Chain A
Amino acid sequence: GDDDVPKDEL
């Protein structure tokens, strides 16, 4: 899968 998108959202 794609690389982990940054999880900066609540």
Chain B
Amino acid sequence: MNIFRLTGDLSHLAAIIILLLKIWKTRSCAGISGKSQILFALVFTTRYLDLFSSFISLYNTVMKVIYIMCAYATVYLIYGKFKATYDGNHDTFRVEFLLIPVVLLAVLINHAFAPMEILWTFSIYLESVAILPQLFMISKTGEAETITTHYLFFLGLYRTLYLFNWIWRFYFEGFFDLIAVVAGLVQTILYCDFFYLYITKVLKGKKLSLPA
């Protein structure tokens, strides 16, 4: 464990909690892409199947359980409890355009052609593009609630910190996973435009509205 991975995980946890609290407190999922949240639930489900087969550390197990529970709770709030506030007209990204290439890539490019390894690879590739429906929805509505931008900031920050974690691990531990690094780079690059708007607008107290 290193400081980049720990702060990255905590940033990820913060994002997940911020979103869950936003929906719960405002009793509304306006502006939130349910499709992205379903994809995140799928990412955690396919990546954390090893919860039952291998124990790495208490931290690892506890965080995985929290992520999975929060992901499904968020999906439930969006499509169940507060579905009346779900803005389906703007959450129209065709997720099959993400799932099909990700499945193909996971089958073709992986570390080992074994079920758990392919599921892990699928989850890594899917996570790198899972935010697209959310970013697409914001571009369609032309704006985002400030709390939603904080959610996106911490979500984008987490994988950015993981990039530094991988540099650290390569340098100090000789650990290197090309699949995770390339997918993590793609994931972080997708946030660049948002990061720019967040820093130049939201942090200056303005509302995030598009076109910039």
Contact = CB atoms under 8 A, between A and B. Distances in A.
Contacts of B5: 9
A10 B63 contact: yes
A2 to B, nearest CB: 5
B60 A8 contact: yes
Q: How large is the interface on B (under 10, 10 to 19, 20 to 34, 35 or more residues)?
A: 20 to 34
Given A9-B180, A10-B9, A10-B12, A4 B67 contact: no
A7 B162 CA distance: 14
B14 to A, nearest CB: 14
A9 B42 CA distance: 17
Interface stretch (B108-116, B134-142, B188-196, B198-206): B108-116
B43 to A, nearest CB: 11
A1 B113 contact: yes
Interface of B: 5, 9, 12, 50, 54, 56-57, 60, 63-64, 67, 110-114, 117, 120, 162, 165, 175, 177, 180
